[in-house]
Amino acid sequence: MTDAATGPSRLGPGHIGAQTGAQAGAQADDRPEALSVEVTIEIPGGSFRKVGSTGRLDFLSPVPCPFNYGSVRERLGLEGDLLDAVVLGPRLPAGKRLRVFACGAVGLYDRGLYDDKLICTLAPLDAAGLRRARQLALGFFRVYGWAKGLLNLWRGRAGQTGLAGWVSAESAWRRSRPCTDADWTEPLVPF
């Protein structure tokens, strides 16, 4: 359950409920702690169209997006847009809202603005699955940051652009802030 007072549900190994990281590490099935969050899919996996959280076209990519890309509609990231979320797994339709497990986050700079992107899965991961998800996400966003930097250069938009690294889902959640439909209509910065 997610609300402004308590944040996302914390899901540990093998069961649903509040649990500390120490408790999660003590479980026999070796599943790292994950946060349960609700995500709205904006870009289905395999799409060439990059749209923003308002649904407007940002750019057409020469390669398809390998992930389902969306946002947590109740949270704002540091750059003033909805908190980004990538959902690994099968292609999901645009507009679909679903509860997923955030296993970590990738930090990215875009024109000098820091932006967290939650990395989510349809089911909790074990330690090996988390390592694979982390490698996949870091590899993709390293290339994405480089390509977005070239696009920003072509558009005449200055500022550092590129991968900052991997962070915990919980730290990304704490950096974001609550948001309601009345608080947000579109990003403050054009993307």
| For residue 189, pLDDT beyond 80 | no
On whether the pTM is more than 0.75, the answer is: yes
| The listed CATH number (3.40.50.2300, 3.90.80.10, 1.10.3210.10, 3.20.20.450) that belongs to domain 9-175 | 3.90.80.10
pLDDT in tens, 89-105: 999 999 999 999 999 99
For the cut 90, the answer to whether the pLDDT of residue 110 exceeds it is no
Task: Give the contacts of 38 (CB within 8 A, at least 6 positions apart).
Answer: 2, 72, 73, 74, 97, 98, 99, 100
**Coil, helix or strand for 155?**
helix
Higher pLDDT, 186 or 45: 45
User: How do residues 144-162 score in pLDDT, each as one tens digit?
Assistant: 889 888 888 888 888 888 8
pLDDT, residue 21, reads: 39
- What SS3 class is residue 51? strand
CB 67 within 8 A of CB 140: yes
Averaged pLDDT for residues 9-14? 40
31, 23 contact by CB (below 8 A): no
